[in-house]
Structure 1
Amino acid sequence: MSVACLGAQMLGDPAARAQDKPVPEQIVDVMNRLWGQHPGMRANHAKGVVVEGSFAPSPDGAALSASPLFAGGPVPVTVRFSDATGIPTIADGSPQANPHGMAVKFKLSDGGEMDIVANSLKFFPVATGEEFRDMLQAAAESGPGAPKPTRLEQFVAAHPAALKAVQSVQTPASLARETYNGIDAFVFVSRDGKRQPFRFRIDPDEGAEHLDAEAAAAKQPDFLMKEIAERVSSRPVVFHLKAQLAQAGDPTSDPTKPWPEDRRIVELGRITLTRPAPDSATAEKSLLFLPQNLTAGVEQSDDPLIDARNAAYAVSFGRRQ
């Protein structure tokens, strides 16, 4: 998990100034230290590809939620697959390219939109924006030559979920053969006002398939990005949008704590991808996916990481413009 420290020289006391900024800005700042500043690119998940298709809702979604997403027929979707880190040239098979991301923008019939921002982690390494900042900061200070135990080693020792989360991911054989998890809890609100906490999950129709480290390292640097564009050009790629429903007592405020596997899973509909975006690079620059971009019938839970992610994505978007 060690990462080279790319700290930049700054006038004055950078530590004091950084503490005066909101946490989301601090998160983006330390990402830029870790992975460098790349104009026009995201601070994290910089490397990606955009594809398009549609979402067809299932009746079960309408029973759980009053959202217009589940009330009518198919709607268009724009999906961005991505590698982790802010390095736009990272090799797709690099261990640091995990977790891979799948962000989905649903374009509703009433002109509105809804976003899902998911990744291949089974659960998140930390529970709050402050802890995420601290983890990134520890990584930035734990490059080659850092005294042992490094700051990152100390952080991991104090946050056991961090290493377990990282160990839960592998390089997929294809971006179409990965399961993507919405690690934050949200709340469905039905037409009669019933509230049901849940987490999103996106399962590939063809099943998940992963590569071991040796096989992943042997692949071409852009094999995942090229393969998914070629795949959707030749045939539809289908994912199943699902919701894992919480039971009483399941924590909704801590994304480091997965719910038991026996919790009910409901299929909300099918995402069918049929074509690459005409100009993926241009589309990526204008796309902003936000966890809080919801519709009526889907509400935010008490998970504090949602606010931190939403704000950090907005900061990153503003800077890359």
Structure 2
Amino acid sequence: MKNKKTISLGVILLASIMFPFFSNSYWLDVATLVLFYVVLTQGLNVVVGYTGLLDLGYAAFFAVGAYTTAILMTTFGWSFWLTIPIAIVFAAITGLIIGGPTLRLRSDYLAIVTLGFGEIIRILAINLEITGSASGIYGIPRPSIGSYTLSSQLDFYFLILILAILTIIAVRRLGKSRIGRAWIYIREDEDAAEAMGINRVRLKLLSYATGAVIGSLAGCIFAIKMSAIAPLSFSFHQSVMILLAVVLGGLGSISGVVIGAVLVIILPEALRSMEDMRFLIFGIALVVMMIFRPQGIWPAKYETEDVPDDQTIDESFIDSDGDKPLSVKG
């Protein structure tokens, strides 16, 4: 079984590497956008899929990374690679800021707060002079690796492909870790998880911060690829599309979320010849999908198993001894 899975992953990776050499510039640009969504959906999957915290303002973290990189490169002349750790710090702080006041909120109330947060970030970008106001920031320099400057479609495709692979590996490892199992416990029953001794406050904050960091990394690359960013790129519509991909693929499922990201980008593009009808057809297809497959295209599989003694939940995240949680396969 493991050999089949390894072979399948190898084929997918090889196809991803070879795709640009057998594609035109249009589909290469679409594939690059798909990879951006793969990274963003994996970040949101940590918050919504693993921890069960409904977030309708995830594009805000995407914006934090993009604007941090753009401002530092255009205003202060920083190298792109030096802006990445700063963007990570800002995104983590932003995640803690939004996570702190919302710890007592659940379901619809949490969704409303995160929606408001996303709109606050967008409105700030429109009104602040340092973010270029409504016009945004233009003339973002291209990054360099030694003497080579990244400038072509192919360069940015492989750059975001590398980030997507690293993100998938990291999120998968998190899901199987002690922290990931605790997140799943919180998602399934927050009160029961707390009664078991799981420190839900710290784990929720960690979930928000982790999702924020992943979203900001995608934003950093988005800024240098486009060489210009504006508040319109980080609207509520983007947050909805990212959440849609997570739900469509399967909450908590790594493979499912990747499939969801592919579908929400590819389907509208494949229906482009139908002009105004394409979004209607796309919407009908999504409704039908949710009726007959509400758990998602590739739902996560959970099973109970004994957790080794060295894999118990870290003491910094518990208040007392608790039972061993679920493991996740996605």
TM-score normalised by L of structure 1:
0.23
Q: Which has the higher contact order (CA 8 A, sep 6+)?
A: 2
TM-score (normalised: structure 2): 0.23
Q: Return the structure number with greater strand share.
A: 1
Higher helix share goes to which structure? 2
